[in-house]
Amino acid sequence: MPSELLHHPPAGVIIPAGGTGSRFGHPQPKQFLDLAGLPILVHTCKAFLDLETIRSLVVAAPAAYMQDTIDLLHMHLPASQTNRLHVTVGGATRQDSVQAGLRSLPAEIDLVLVHDAARPLVDRATILRCLHGAAQFGAVIAAVPVKDTLKKVGNGGMIEKTVDRSHLWQAQTPQAAARRLMEHAFAEANRRGFIGTDEASLLEAVGIPVRVVEGSERNLKVTRPEDLLVAAALLKEEGTMKIGHGFDAHRLVAGRRLILGGVTIDYELGLDGHSDADVLAHALTDALLGALGAGDIGRHFPDTDPQYKNIDSLLLLMQVQQQMEERGYRLGNADLTIVCQRPKLAPYLAAMQDNLARCCKVPPAAINIKATTTEKMGYTGRGEGIAAHAVVLLRSDFGNK
């Protein structure tokens, strides 16, 4: 699927959270209830705000809970995310709340995603499929094919027939569309007095084609108290960690620049290789691929391919970072060791750390880099080459919510 970094119009999200939880049987709105240590609404908002590509997110909250909603989100979300967040008053119906959200989105937002407040387990890959699908086709919804046998039942509980499910899909959210299409659909619904069950139904009513993109079985909606138990179990299951190890070594030769961690080192020799031969970036890239169970760097970027000739290895690292995100993982931390007799690398380590952290979208403190020698033993000790080891810990996005 396309990566998060592909070009698309500015995107915003509306979270209709105008309900008060009366059907859930709880004194407070269900979006405020605890799920694995955080309110449901925080999980939901964080799933979108973790994506830098989302420019704005609007929560349409019950009027009586406006300040509670604002306080809750600012308590649990970092300032880097709350500066893209706005809370507005929702309406009596979902349709009213989404319209309120549309009015609150900044003018520059051209793509709109609508997502249920009570679907806290939405994953990054589903969001990206909706985002890129709407940019390409105009309007899409996340959905999953119906798997169970369906029965049409008449009076008295008697089965009338088995329903063909081969073309039936179960709608989820996000539901996404170009803003102009969404606003047109809502304007026409208001004019006709039409009340739809979701955004797709409004778009369909005015003849706008809506395409289905793959959703997720885990993208459940919390509608009953027992759903909270299922969601908590899924969060526990998905809060997994993966460990990967990477290693690379290159020969030192004349006539090449010495590049480590994207930093050019002042030295008379450089590392020989098809790319820029950055052994540190290669070891980290290999470790990420290893943790994902996705082979090694040679499989993805073969030295027989001319497009990788002299390429900046940080670009390769960023491609693997995108693969990692699409599979629902993020880097927890990395521990890297450079084995090099000379030159001395201590003055360059901080810059390497900053470069690798930027590529992996983590704080510099999550990237630990050490430089050591082999006391003049072996090929690194004789100054014939430089090697690097990397160990990484990946965390699932669910574990981060």
pLDDT at 401: 39
Question: How confident is the model at residue 8, as a pLDDT?
Answer: 75
Domain locations in the chain? 11-237, 241-400
The confidence score (pLDDT) of residue 238 equals 61
Q: Is 11-237's fold the same as 241-400's?
A: no
Ordered alpha helix ranges (H), 16-65? 40-49
- Domain spanning 11-237, CATH class: alpha beta
Per the model's pLDDT, the better-predicted residue between 241 and 95 turns out to be: 95
Per CATH, the homologous superfamily of domain 241-400 is: 2-C-methyl-D-erythritol 2,4-cyclodiphosphate synthase (3.30.1330.50)
Pairing of strands 38-39, 111-114: unpaired
CA-to-CA dists, residue 183 to 131, 136, 176, 180, angstroms: 17, 18, 12, 5
What sign does the dihedral 384-338-395-360 (CA atoms) show?
negative
Q: Looking at the predicted structure, is the pLDDT value of residue 321 above 50?
A: yes
What phi and psi values does residue 107 have, to the nearest 5 degrees? -60, -30
- Joined tokens for residue 297: 């760097």
Please state, in angstroms and rounded to a whole number, the distance separating the CA atoms of residues 369 and 394.
Answer: 17
What is the secondary structure of 141-181 as a DSSP string?
A: EEEEE--S-EEEE-GGG-EEEEEP-TT-EEEEEEEEEEHHH
- What pTM was computed for the model? 0.63
What span, in angstroms and rounded, lies between the C-alpha atoms of 113 and 133? 11
Confidence check: pLDDT of 2 > 60 = no
Say how many C-beta atoms besides its own lie within 10 A of residue 233's C-beta.
Answer: 11
pLDDT of residue 38: 86
Sorted by sequence, the CB contacts under 8 Å of residue 210 that are 6+ apart come out as 139, 140, 141, 177, 200, 203, 204
Per-residue pLDDT band for 193 (boundaries 50, 70, 90) equals very high
Instruction: Share the mean pLDDT of the chain.
Output: 91
pLDDT digits (tens, 9 = 90+) for 355-369: 999 999 888 989 999
